[in-house]
Every structure is written in C-alpha cells, then in structure tokens.
Structure 1
Amino acid sequence: MLAGSIALLLAACSPADEAAAPAAVPVRTITVAESTLPNVIELPGRVEPVRTAEVRARVTGIVQQRLYEEGTYVSAGQPLFRIDPRELRASYAQTQASLERARSTAANARAVVDRYRPLVEENAISAQEYDAAVAAARQADASVAEIRAQLDAAGLQLGYTTVRAPISGRAGRAQVTEGALVSQSEGTLLTKIEQTSSVYVTFNQSASELLAVRDRINSGEIDYAGRETAEVRLTFADGTDYDVPGRLDFLAFSVDEETGTVEVRAEFPNSNGVLLPGEFVRAKISVGTISNGIAVPQRAVTVNQNGGSVYVVDVDGLAQMRPVKLGAMLGEQWIVKSGLKVGDKVIVSNLQKIRPGAPVKPVETPVGNKAPATAATKPEKAAAQAGAE
C-alpha cells in the first residue's frame, strides 16, 4: 500500500502537468527558383496633355459674348469670344482715310514731277526745283507705304476682337464673363485648350537608380537590346490598370540639382478620354528581362511601410520571418529584388496562424497550382482545407 501511494504521488508530480509543446501548424510552401522575368521599374507620374494653348486677349476692350460651350471640343480657328470692336473699327476707318489722303498727295507729287521733267530739259526751270519735286514725290510714296502698314496693323487689331482657337482640342471653362474688361498689355487669360487624344505621362527617376540599371545592362545581368522603345503601362490610384500601353519618347540628359532625379516621359493613346490631365498614376516601365529573377505569390508577402516580408521554413522546421526588397507586381506575383535565395521554402498559407519561431508542417505546393489532395495524409488534407484561400 505504501509503495502504491508513492507511485500515485510520483504520477501526480510527473511532466504530464507541464504545458504540452505547441502543435506544428500545417502550411503550404513553395520552393524559390530562378526564372526569366521582365525587368520592371515602377514610378509615380502625372498625366499631361500633349499640347496646351492659353487663349489670351490681344486687344483691350469689353467682352461682348462667349461663343463656345465650356468643356467641349473646339477646332482650330473656331471663334471663342467676341470683344467690342467699335473703337477699333473707328480707328481702322480713320487710318483708311489717312491712307486715301496720302495716296492723293503722292499722286499730285508724281504729276508735278511729270510736268517738271520736260521743263528742266529745256532749262525752263532749274535742276534744283526738279530735284525738290522728285524728293517730294518719294516722300509722298513713303507716307503711303507707312500708312498702309498702319492700316494693316489696325486691321489685325480689329480681327483680334474675335478671339479664335489657336489649336484643336478640349476648351476649358471661361476665365472671364460678358462685360469684363480685358487688357492687351496684361494679356488677360480667357480660357485654355488642351489636346488629349494622346497624352504624356512624366515621372522622375533617381539618377543613382538610373545608373544602376545602366550598369546591370552593361554587365549582362539585364538583357536589353535597347533598339526597341521601352513599353510602359499605367495603374490608376484605385488599383485598376489602363488597358493601352504607352512608349517612352523622352529621357532628359541632365539631372535636376534640387531632387537628384532625371525626367522621363512616355506617350499614351487616349482616344476614349480616360486619362485626365493632372491625374496621378503609377507607371510600370519594362526595360529588358532578368534571366535569374525571383518571384513569389502575392499571398505570401506582407507589405509594410518598410517594404515587405515573407515567412520561410528553416532547417529545424520552424517559421522565420524574412524581410525582402520588393520590385513590381506581375499579375499575382511580387518580384523580389533581394532577401530570398534559390531553395528557400516560402510559406503561402495560414500566415495568420503562425509566428516567428513557431513549428510548422510544410506541404509543398507546385507554383501556380493547388496542392494535390492525394499527396497528403489525412491531417495534411485537413490543413489544406483550413489554409485554402
């Protein structure tokens, strides 16, 4: 009986009372491998019209009427505003009258020369008188030319009272209303016209990163012939993609002293008017391919303000968090620039149930496929169902 009591006492104090070791969490994994991936540079950019014209007043006067509908398409030469022409019309008529008077004076001076020519040959008048008559005729002709030029200028000023569109495009809202005084000297802004059938997207690339890309191309790490124009694709602020790709058409040959960046520009077709001037977008520029690139599924990556991180399985079967430097998104995969190496096992499921150092039970998942149910034991099947996304 004493021996039985001692055995019961020892059983009560056995390690069974200690906390059981945590069970391994079943997870799906993929093995990191190299593959040929596009080299994508992602940058923020701003949409700009290919052409912008500021319509300004070229004469001083009162706006009588707006002749276009705000926000509509206008053609080059189409009337947009009418400025009161009465004062300039009177000035034009006055100049025209001065021209007629000058023409009459010139005609009279030429007639005097014609009369003096035979007289000077007969010594009926002195050569000095004849020369004075010739000079007076030339001066009268010069006055005619001067006033004709003034009349042309007055005609231009009168024509400017009808303000026309300098280019075709979409006209913005009017900056003045009927009755407003506009000034030629100040160049009063009346409206703007933007051509958006195709648009520019400008963005700035760090000079150091641009040099790094150039070095990788020269070293052969990036396969880029350079003969073709780099393709650019856009993503809107809400995450949707713009369907039509664009092409790089400009690269600045100087570095901005204040920002240390180089300006890059791409042109995009915009016949449907989806891209709006001033809009912020993200541009993905494809510059060649990388033969030894690494990509992991999006669901395996946790993105934070410092970049991204993934869970990998170490040699002891424990989950370890690994910070990674992310590149661009390709479909449902993140390009990983650094932080992973070939052969690493990356966890792609049950991330919310694991912590760094937690034991896991990995089930290999072929890239791009679901784990086959026949390849797992009953507990693994249950884990696959619990971790399915």
Structure 2
Amino acid sequence: MPRTSFARISGLSAAFILALALPMAATAQDGPPPTPVTVVTLEASDVTLTAPLPGRVAASSEAEVRPQVNGIIRERLYVEGRPVAKGDLLYRIDSASYEAQKASAEAQLAQANASLKSAERELGRQQALKARNVVSQQNLDNAVSAREIALASVKVAEAQVLATEIDLERTAIRAPIAGIAGLSDVSPGALVTSGQATPLTTIRALDPVHVDVTQAAADMLRWRRADGGAKFAEELGQIVELKLADGTTYEHQGELSAAEPHVKEDTGTIVLRLSFPNPDGFLLPGMYVQVDMPQGVVKNAILVPQQAVSRDRRGEPMALVVNADNVVEQRKLTVLRDQGNHWVVTAGVAEKERVIVSGLQKTAAGATVTPQEQGAAEAPAENN
C-alpha cells in the first residue's frame, strides 16, 4: 500500500477515536444522574397518644333474684332472656300457709282489741268509783295498768298482722330492677328457702353497659412526670372508642365514668370504669374488648412514617432527610413511642423537612437526589 494512503487512513482513525472520547469524557465529568426518591413533608402538631387497654363488658346494674320466704314454686311468669320491667311478677310461691298465718294474726288482733275495750271500760268504772271514794287508789292503778297492757297487746297483734302481710306479699316474687331476665334455675314444683345461695334468676341492665379496663399505675406516673412537652391526659380520658374481639370498632363512643382510687398490689394496676350506650343490646356481659384510652398529649410533636426510620448499629433510630439543595442528610431521632403506623418524634427533625420513605437503599448521606412527594407519586398510579 502506498505510504500516502496509509497516512490518510491513520489520520482518519485518530480523528474518529478523538470524536468518541470527547462525549465519554464529558459524561465522566457530569457523573451519574440524581437518584429519584419518595419523600414526606413533616408537620408539627399536638399529638394525643392512645393505648389499647383490655377489658370485659359488665352490666350497668345486676340483681340476683332470691326468695324471701320458704315454699313451693307454683308457676314461672316471665319469658327467659326477655326484657322485664321493675315490679313485674316473675314467680309465684304457694301462699296457702301464709294466708292462714295472716288470718290467725288478724284473729289475734281482734282479740287484743276486745281486751283493750274491756280494760278501758273497767278503767272508767274505777275512775268513777274513786271520785266518790268508794274504791282505793290501788284498784284504780290496777285498772290503768290493765288498760296499758291491753293497748300494748293490740300493737303487738298489729305488728304480727303486718309481718304476715309482708310474707304473703313475698310469695309473689317481682323484678327488683328493669333489665333482661336470664335463664331460670328453678322450675315449678321446686322447694325454695328464704335467702338461699342459688338465685332463681339474674336480671341485668344492658343499656348502658360498663367496661372495666386495667391501667398500669407505672404508666400514669410516667406521664405525670414526663418532660419534653408531654402531658398526662387526665382530662382527655372522657371520650373513648371500643374495639371488639373481631377487630372492628364499636359504633358508639363511651366515656370514662369512674376510676378506682386503689392500686392492686398483685398486678400494680388501676381499674377504670367506662360507660357505653348499648341500645341494640349488641354488647353482652363477659365480652372481651379493647379500649383505645388516651394516655397523654405531646406538644409540637412530629409523626414520622415508620418506613422512613431505620436503626444504626447501636439501635438508635435514624432517618434520611432531603435538605433545600436536594442533598441527603442523616438525622438521629428522639422517638417517644409508636402511634399507628407512625413514630412520635420529639427531636431530630423539624416541621416542613422532608424525610425519605421510599428509595432508602439507593441513596446515602451526602448524595444528591430527585425528591418526589408521596401523594404526588401515588396520583398517576391511581389514575392508571
């Protein structure tokens, strides 16, 4: 090949190589493009912290029905499991013997009244004779005493009549409160005794109902002594929500009605009594429930999404924050506790700062990123 042709080819190759090298050099100087990440802009607010406390549903009023006289049950007059009003007739005890006792007491009262009339007549005669000095003072005194004894006998007989009337009335067993009458523990023909240990039935008032939950006394002390803007929510424990055993939320809200002023020595807990309306009878005594009880208020706290928080080697909570220049900064957080799917943070981040919630594995402190707000990132996906 002629030398001139070879030189021309070598020149063209060098020019081609130089043309390729210039873009590569420019790319190497520019570096990789910023990593896209998803961020959430933080807001500061007063956060009310809640805690699920276990409890059991209890009737607001409960009465065990027991007989107050002895006898045989003749009939049951209520429907088991149905509402009864106060004073409704539940059972009837055989009253024949009590009617006889009343008749006997009334006869004794009539006899006592007759004796009283006789003593009063005798006292009148003795007083008239004494006025004429026909009888001694001793006779008059005896007549006065006889009349007082007869009057006392009348009072005793009246009391006996009243007692028999009460016993006779108690053969009709009535509902002491309004509520739902439970199953009957006796049937007609059964012998019952006054004040027996086994109740005939139990009546429960189910609207409203009580829910007794246990609160650790240590938690109450911790909140009362808390710093950093935390305040124990004594006044906020009035309105509460109830979660049922299947995880659903009860449709009616309740309120804190009482707190036991005593700490149980074996468990270190305090019993709180809550009251919930139960118009449909949905809540039944003995049900296991959970109550979202307000625990405290944290002033100017920030809720940081849990997916934005990681742990370093020492277990300290950390978050990646995107500053105004879109450069990533690593922050150490002061976490008070969790609240739903967020962490309640009192230090380490500020209001209006942006924390990375997606793309954490693709970036690190000092890197430049392209942030996109979480809501804006999800909008296109929802439209598709």
The TM-score, its normalising length taken from structure 2, stands at: 0.73
- The structure with the largest alpha-carbon Rg is 2
Residues 157-176 of structure 1 deviation map (CA, whole Å, 9 limit, x = unaligned): 11000000111111111121
Residues 181 and 371 (structure 1), Cα distance of their counterparts in 2 relative to 1, 3 Å cut: same
- SS of the residue 1:371 aligns to: helix
Match of 2:25 in 1: none
Aligned length: 329
The CA distance in 2 between the partners of 1:160 and 1:261, in whole Å, is: 43
The answer on 1:108 being equivalent to 2:118 is yes
Match of 1:79 in 2: 89
Match of 1:268 in 2: 276
Aligned ranges 1:210-359 → 2 under 5 Å: 210-216=220-226, 220-222=229-231, 226=235, 230-287=238-295, 289-295=297-303, 327-329=338-340, 334-336=341-343, 342=349, 347=357
Q: Paired residue for 1:52, among 62, 68, 76?
A: 62
Q: Paired residue for 1:175, among 157, 174, 185?
A: 185
How far apart are 1:220 and its partner, in Å? 3.8
The CA distance in 1 between the partners of 2:266 and 2:199, in whole Å, is: 31
Tell me if structure 2 keeps the 8 A contact 1:294–1:335. Answer: no
Tell me if structure 2 keeps the 8 A contact 1:39–1:222. Answer: no
Match of 2:30 in 1: none
Residues 231 and 64 (structure 1), Cα distance of their counterparts in 2 relative to 1, 3 Å cut: same
Identity of aligned residues (%): 35
Match of 2:160 in 1: 150
Q: Paired residue for 1:119, among 108, 116, 129?
A: 129
How far apart are 1:89 and its partner, in Å? 1.1
Structure 1 gaps, min length 5? 1-25, 302-309, 375-383
Aligned ranges 1:131-146 → 2 under 5 Å: 131-146=141-156
The CA distance in 1 between the partners of 2:50 and 2:106, in whole Å, is: 67
Residues 247 and 131 (structure 1), Cα distance of their counterparts in 2 relative to 1, 3 Å cut: same
The answer on 1:62 being equivalent to 2:68 is no
- SS of the residue 1:137 aligns to: helix
Q: Paired residue for 1:366, among 368, 373, 379?
A: 373
How far apart are 1:42 and its partner, in Å? 2.1
- SS of the residue 1:234 aligns to: strand
- SS of the residue 2:377 aligns to: coil
How far apart are 1:297 and its partner, in Å? 5.5
How far apart are 1:230 and its partner, in Å? 2.5
Residues 88-136 of structure 1 deviation map (CA, whole Å, 9 limit, x = unaligned): 1111111111111111111111111111111112122221112111111
Residues 293-350 of structure 1 deviation map (CA, whole Å, 9 limit, x = unaligned): 454568889xxxxxxxx997799x9xxxx9x885453xxxx2435799537956569x
The CA distance in 2 between the partners of 1:80 and 1:296, in whole Å, is: 61
The CA distance in 1 between the partners of 2:229 and 2:318, in whole Å, is: 31
Tell me if structure 1 keeps the 8 A contact 2:93–2:172. Answer: yes
The CA distance in 1 between the partners of 2:58 and 2:348, in whole Å, is: 41
The TM-score, its normalising length taken from structure 1, stands at: 0.72
Residues 335 and 133 (structure 1), Cα distance of their counterparts in 2 relative to 1, 3 Å cut: farther
Tell me if structure 2 keeps the 8 A contact 1:40–1:327. Answer: no
Structure 1 runs of 4+ aligned residues shifted over 6 Å read 298-301, 310-315, 358-363
- SS of the residue 2:200 aligns to: strand
- SS of the residue 1:189 aligns to: coil
Tell me if structure 2 keeps the 8 A contact 1:236–1:280. Answer: yes
What's the RMSD between the two structures over aligned residues? 3.8
Q: In the alignment, residue 366 of structure 1 is paired with which amino acid?
A: E
The CA distance in 2 between the partners of 1:365 and 1:65, in whole Å, is: 78
Tell me if structure 2 keeps the 8 A contact 1:230–1:287. Answer: no
Q: In the alignment, residue 81 of structure 1 is paired with which amino acid?
A: Y
The answer on 1:94 being equivalent to 2:133 is no
Q: Paired residue for 1:129, among 112, 135, 139?
A: 139
Tell me if structure 1 keeps the 8 A contact 2:321–2:356. Answer: no
Match of 2:210 in 1: 200
How far apart are 1:373 and its partner, in Å? 7.7
